[in-house]
Amino acid sequence: MSVRIAKSAGFCFGVSRAVEIVEQAAQAGKRVCTLGPIIHNSHVVRHFEEMGVHVIDRPEQAQPGDTVIIRSHGVTKVVYEELERRGVETIDATCPFVKRIHTIVSRAEAEGRLPVIIGTPTHPEVVGIAGWCRDCRVFESKEALENWAQSQENLKNLAICMVSQTTSTEFLWKSCVDFAKKQFTNLKIFDTICRATEYRQSEAAELSQSCQAMVVVGDPKSSNTGRLAMICREHCSQVFLVDHAGELKPEDFRGVTDVGITAGASTPAWIIKEVNKTMSEITNVEAVQEESFAELLEQSIKTLNTGDKVTGIVTGIGNTEVQVDLGTKHAGYIPYDEVSTDPSVKPEDVLKVGDEIEVFVVRVNDQEGTVQLSKKKLDGLKVWDEMASWVEEKTTVEGTITEENKGGLVANVKGIRVFIPASQSGIAKGGDMSSMVGKTVQMKITEVNRARRRVIGSIRAVTSEARKAAQEKIWAEIENGKKYHGVVKSLTSYGAFVDIGGVDGMVHVSELSWNRIKTPADVVKVGDEIDVYVISFDPEKHKISLGYKTAEMNPWNQFMAKYSVGDVVDAKVVKLMTFGAFAEILPGVDGLIHISQIADRRIGKPEDVLSEGQDVKVKITDVDAENKRISLSIRALLEQPAEDAE
């Protein structure tokens, strides 16, 4: 038989922080009071009563000299003022997430906005939030929000600031937000839900689906605990809600092979451990060691310092920050700009509620109970360790070119600035390096100086490796007639050099075109992508002769495929001779118009009628395919109407 405890069972960090504050205040020897039960758990309240901690319901019950602790739900501004007026020392154990909502609604009212709170109007947290502004509206359902909106005049111009009770459901919040976005044009939205409760319930549902029996530990009066039990019953037929280990009955677990344990946010660790110990005894599973309240509390109180590396659980992803439970009295959060080195990355793309992550402690605020964290900084520290190994192992890495400077290029590799000298950029001397900015490239890290935070990279090292491999492949597979798709790298007076994938071959000027050309530039230019074929090659001398012109490109073949004797075509006079004129039918294909075929009358010389460059319409009268000669006639077309008349 196995017994599994939900990771999120027991105190959330807000409750843990409040309990720890009471524990420390009680040990200081002063008269300590909590404004209402510090948490909804009779065992914890009784434990503190034994330590001399009193529970008061109203500020008026506090006596001068008392230390009054405000519980995690928070209170109204008026309560703070009354406690100050009575001259008592006040310790604020308000959950930092709740405290943030107090600030939001207070600032919203100062900006002329009406705070709208989505939550239960009678809940202590909501009562406290509402007490930080003179006027607000509280809605516990989308329907209530809709009814209020319908009663408002000039709805579109109403300035609204919307927040949520931290323990509200995601479904309720989203439905209200979707409605508000359609109704209010002057709207500010702050997603203030604490995802710890949602995660706890989700984990309970998942655990109950794979266990034959579930034990839910917590005060039966706690709505949080009751909700957990209800969720478990949706997936598991045997669910037992117990306040403590003494309520467990061995006969309830006969024949059960898998038991899951979860607990509400106000259930102390020592009760969960007692339940686990008892279940272990019932099921013959190895028991855990019994520990005292103080010992268990000490386990949850960790000292955090700037620069620490800590592990936590993502409990929520808000509009501006990611909430992280570190298992301490502090509320951890990661500002959005500290999640990733890539500004285009959204937090929800790389993190989700329930993820266990390692983070870097940026700033600790013990007074407010918060700790600012950074995933980006820790990732950066890890990258420095990786880079040293990349140099040794000659690893190829990916980076994005962010800028061009006088000496070369700068790339971003996992958040680290890498300098690539111009000679290692892969760009020819004098080439346009600015065209590389914004591109993702492969490179090797050649030098790392962590003390000076200097990293040198080389794109050329990668391209050289790739080129060498490509060359070996080409020479291993090359054969006459094989076709390649290449890029024109350079031009000379006698031909063009073409890169066919790591190896350069030469296309002689005579192999570039069927027509007579003056220079290779008449046909191709540097950078052109062309299809070529191997004419001959010499592996020893590493020389390859390539051909570009093909039979399909032969103008004579094109002429023969397109025209026949008797066809009338458009031509251009290209040369005048004493015996006639040559006219171009296609580039590279000329036909002769004999002097006797130029006009329907006798002429002395061709230039009496024609001039070079003149466009004429001619009839093909004869084709000598063997000698590639074409006879043309203008006269035949001039006589045509008379023939037609006959």
pLDDT tens, residue by residue, 375-398: 888 887 788 888 888 888 888 999
Torsion sign over Cα 85, 88, 91, 95: negative
Beta strand ranges found along 235-369 (DSSP E): 238-242, 258-263, 309-317, 321-325, 331-335, 356-365
pLDDT at 295 over 70: no
User: What pTM, to 2 d.p., does this model score?
Assistant: 0.48
The residues, any chain, with a CB within 8 Å of residue 192's CB and separated by 6 or more, are 97, 100, 101, 104, 163, 164, 165, 166, 318
φ/ψ of residue 309, rounded to 5: -105, 120
296 C-beta neighbours (distance < 10 Å), count: 18
pLDDT at 89 over 50: yes
Mean pLDDT of the chain: 86
Tell how far CA 393 is from the center of its chain: 29
Please state whether beta strands 187-189 and 440-449 pair in parallel, antiparallel, or not at all (unpaired): unpaired
The pLDDT, as a whole number, for residue 367 is 61
d(CA 75, CA 83): 11
For residue 256, give both structure tokens: 């059960």
The residues, any chain, with a CB within 8 Å of residue 641's CB and separated by 6 or more, are none
The pLDDT, as a whole number, for residue 141 is 93
Say how many residues make up the chain: 646
The pLDDT, as a whole number, for residue 288 is 43
- % of the chain at pLDDT higher than 70: 93
Give per-residue pLDDT as tens, 120-165: 999 889 999 999 999 999 999 999 999 999 888 777 778 999 999 9
Produce one character per residue of 510-521: b if its CB has 16 or more CB atoms within 10 Å, e if not.
ebbbbeeeeebe
Q: Which of 20, 23, 125, 321 is catalytic?
A: 125
pLDDT confidence of 463, banded at 50, 70, 90? confident
The pLDDT, as a whole number, for residue 329 is 65
Which H/E stretch holds residue 642? Answer: helix 640-645
The pLDDT, as a whole number, for residue 298 is 52
pLDDT confidence of 331, banded at 50, 70, 90? confident
Which H/E stretch holds residue 127? Answer: helix 124-130
- Closest by CA to 177, choosing from 164, 165, 158, is 164
The pLDDT, as a whole number, for residue 384 is 84
d(CA 297, CA 475): 72
The pLDDT, as a whole number, for residue 540 is 85
The pLDDT, as a whole number, for residue 1 is 59
Bigger pLDDT: 96 vs 445: 445
* DSSP structure class, residue 561: H
pLDDT confidence of 302, banded at 50, 70, 90? low
Beta strand ranges found along 472-567 (DSSP E): 483-492, 495-499, 504-508, 529-538, 543-547
pLDDT at 169 over 90: no
First to last CA, the chain: 113
Residue range 180-205: mean pLDDT, rounded: 85
Locate tokens 């066809």: which residue? Answer: 567
* DSSP structure class, residue 57: S
The pLDDT, as a whole number, for residue 481 is 87
Locate tokens 């080389």: which residue? Answer: 458
For residue 98, give both structure tokens: 């709740």
Give per-residue pLDDT as tens, 470-524: 788 888 888 998 989 999 999 998 999 999 888 889 999 888 887 777 889 988 8
83 C-beta neighbours (distance < 10 Å), count: 20
The answer to whether 114 and 107 have CB atoms below 8 angstroms apart is no
Phi-psi region of 10 (alpha: psi -120 to 50; beta: other; left: phi over 0): left
Helices (H), 452-597: 460-477, 555-562
- Closest by CA to 513, choosing from 489, 548, 546, is 548
- Closest by CA to 211, choosing from 1, 352, 27, 385, is 1
State yes or no: is 274 an active-site residue.
no
Give per-residue pLDDT as tens, 9-61: 777 767 777 888 888 888 877 789 999 888 878 888 888 888 889 899 999 99
Give per-residue pLDDT as tens, 612-636: 999 999 999 999 988 889 999 999 8
Residue range 449-465: mean pLDDT, rounded: 86
The residues, any chain, with a CB within 8 Å of residue 524's CB and separated by 6 or more, are 488, 491, 496, 512, 530, 548
How would DSSP label each residue in 267-289? Answer: --HHHHHHHHHHHHHHHTPPPPP
* DSSP structure class, residue 289: P
